[in-house]
Structure 1
């Protein structure tokens, strides 16, 4: 019987920058070995264009992604919940692993300011994969 794959939810306010990059990196590097979700407590209409551009530079396409609203169901279905500046908007359920990643907000920033945020997120995702016992695929 295959082991259940871990499920990770990334949450930020607008689900247009940090959480989108984190989810995309985890999907890219973890592949089918991990279930990935992202959401926002107050989702924007679109993903930040500078984020889309910065991720395209490293071969990750976010152009079709759409910000999603944070739901209680998404939190309940996740093993690990990683918040990135969503404050108290994220519901808490016992038994979940919660992490808070302090990262600059790319909102209103150009691609030059987004690149270092992107790179910090990739480093954290690689560490998360190691913690989950998953070898990054790239």
Structure 2
């Protein structure tokens, strides 16, 4: 980790839905904004599932994002505390050091939802990731 890197963690309990969508959108934003060498993205869950939810993979495929090779991962408290920004997806019980910007996006869990509902969640995730990257860019430029 270098002083010039901004570390972002996108977290939910299972790392099988919302945080996977957020991570995919964050990777797109990072590339589109030319921040590939500047922003490090961490994604994980406190109790990872075995696989990304089928309905989430389907909803993301509808916008040409392939999550078929993604595997839910556990994320450590040390990793979270090393981040500049931590976004939880509606399931936060995190108590991290004061210098970590933690925000709870309070998104509904897509697991077990119909595809139309997951599309709505996906669009909310996309907007929140875009706003987060606006903040990151403003902080880096300021």
Gaps of 5+ in 2: none
Query: Which of residues 62, 65, 75 in structure 2 aligns to 1:57?
Result: 62
| Cross-structure match for 1:93 | 97
Indicate if the aligned counterparts of 2:14 and 2:45 stay in contact, CA closer than 8 A. Answer: yes
Over aligned residues, Cα RMSD in angstroms? 1.7
**TM-score of the two chains, using structure 1 as the length reference:** 0.88
Given that 1:15 and 1:38 are in contact with CA atoms closer than 8 Å, whether structure 2 keeps it comes out as: yes
Q: Which residue of 2 aligns with 1:23?
A: 23
For the residues of structure 1 that align with 2:45 and 2:91, how far apart are their CA atoms?
8
Confirm or deny: 8 A CA contact 1:28 1:60 kept in the other structure: no
Please list every run of at least 4 consecutive aligned residues from structure 1 whose deviation after the TM superposition is greater than 4 angstroms.
none
Residue 81 of structure 2: aligned partner: 76
Q: Normalising by structure 2, what TM-score?
A: 0.85
Aligned residues: 132
For structure 1, the residue ranges without an aligned partner over 5 or more in a row are none
